[in-house]
Amino acid sequence: MIRRDAIALVAAALPDRSAAVACNGMISRELHATRDRPSHFYMIGSMGLASSIGLGLALSQPDRPVVVFDGDGNVLMNLGSLGNVAAARPMNFHHVVFDNGVHGSTGGQRTVSDRVPIERVAKAAGYQEVTRVTTASELS
């Protein structure tokens, strides 16, 4: 499964009343191209802060589902945000990390996600539910 297709699957499943925060780079561009909506926030710059922005939104609007579209490079840039999200435990916060093992927007430099499994870090930080999927049917 390629990132663009995975983003399209997640975007198609978003409830109409949801808000989405997309990390900087290709993920923002691909979400915008797939399903642009006024309730989407496309982060420019601020690498690693999509989950922090999404957390603030989820806490300020607890009745609205908030979905963060994040990349492995972005999450690895700010691992501390995983602990903040876990400690706050917002029930309306959903964090989707697209892990392709590279920084897709800057030339495909490798990340360390093959040695630092983000789902295990999130679980250790206190995320209540963590699932890694690799196929479109698993993601659906």
- Helices then strands (H, E): number in the chain? 7, 6
DSSP string, 119-135: HHHHHHHT-S------S
Decide which of 108 and 27 is more confident: 27
Each residue's pLDDT tens digit, 48-98: 999 999 999 999 999 999 999 999 999 999 999 999 999 999 999 999 999
Radius of gyration of the chain (CA): 14
Distance of CA 96 to the CA centre of its chain: 4
What's the pLDDT score for residue 107? 85
- pLDDT at residue 105 tops 90: no
What structural domains does the chain harbor? 3-139 (3.40.50.970)
Question: What is the sign, positive or negative, of the torsion defined by CA atoms of 49, 55, 56, 61?
Answer: positive
Q: For the whole model, what pTM was predicted? A: 0.95
21 CB-side CA count, 13 A: 25
What's the pLDDT score for residue 17? 95
